[in-house]
Amino acid sequence: MVRRIEVTGSGGVRLAAWEFAESPKAAGGRYGGAVGGRAAVRGTGCGAGHGRARGGGGGQASGGGVLLLHGLLGRAAHWAETARWLSARYRTVALDQRGHGRSGKPVSGPYAREAYVADAEAAVEQLGLAPVTLIGHAMGALTAWQLAARRPDLVRALVICDMRASALGAATQREWSEWLGSWPVPFATLADVRKWFGEDDPTLERPAPARGDFYAEVMSERADGWRPLFFRRQMLQAREGYAHDAHWEELAQVECPALVVRGLDGALGRAEAQEMVRVLPRGRYAEIPDAGHLAHYDQPDGWRRVAEPFLEAAVPA
């Protein structure tokens, strides 16, 4: 089960947060059902009620709060598989970050790093999640460790999934701009979305069906076909905020236990990941075989095998 909660982000931006709860039918199992399948948070109802954040908040689990932060171009729905098993132990919330999903997309922004970190901080405080466990993928992982460095009083543990601490460089920003401009939008059907991102995208080295599913979840049907839930110009602005800078200094300021996870075919190389672990005062390392950049999404079983033991040790229920 999942319900939408409204959060007020930095500068008054409206943010959509999604609180997950274990299904009553699955309550007999330790984690509320087997890992497998892929659920999506779509629309505004999600089969449950709406609410506005008022501090504290409900939650059936006693292990503390978890905030899930998606990466660039992502949305809270991409954490649904993870949230299923997390919600049996912890109060689990996924945030649609500004410019993404069902959250606000202010024309004038800002889409700077400071805004994303302030939004996450606001979500933790308004939802009463502290001391929170932050789990982030890609850009969301950077937001997570920047918040952990800024507000160690709020953060209990941290999981970083496939995000580099080194500067990505201006060349990658140009490549991203060209790639976003190559999308054949609007797509006539969701099947076309899955096919293009999973098979036909010229940047792909081999077919990747899970990637097709990933991008299908960030599309919305319009009068002329299926288009992204985000504006590509704003996504480039958000990426600009971290593409040119390294983030080692902030990583070294993270005081809580932290796990760095990479897929063997992901964006984060092994040498850099292990250096990140060395820089983190309480860092640990894990990798997922047969996983790419979307490790938590395309290999949910492997992701759970490395993330769950860390969380059980760092954040006992």
State residue 32's pLDDT score: 32
Between the CA of residue 68 and those of 33, 123, 155, what are the distances in Å?
20, 11, 13
User: Please, are residues 138 and 161 in contact by the beta-carbon 8 Å criterion?
Assistant: yes
Least reliable range by pLDDT among 54-63, 78-87, 227-236, 305-314: 54-63
Residues counted in the chain? 317
pLDDT tens per residue, range 92-115: 999 999 999 999 999 999 999 999
Residue 138 to residue 268: CA distance in whole angstroms: 9
- Using DSSP, state whether 97 is helix, strand or coil: coil
Task: Report which of residues 317 and 258 the model is more confident about.
Answer: 258
pTM attached to this predicted model: 0.89
Residue 218 to residue 224: CA distance in whole angstroms: 16
Inter-helix orientation angle 170-181/232-243, to 10°: 170
User: Please, are residues 71 and 297 in contact by the beta-carbon 8 Å criterion?
Assistant: no
Omega within 30 of 0 (cis) for the link into 152? no
pLDDT tens per residue, range 164-199: 999 999 999 999 999 999 999 999 999 999 999 999
Angle at 67 between CA 49 and CA 177, to 5 degrees: 100
Structure tokens at 86: 């997390």
State residue 316's pLDDT score: 83
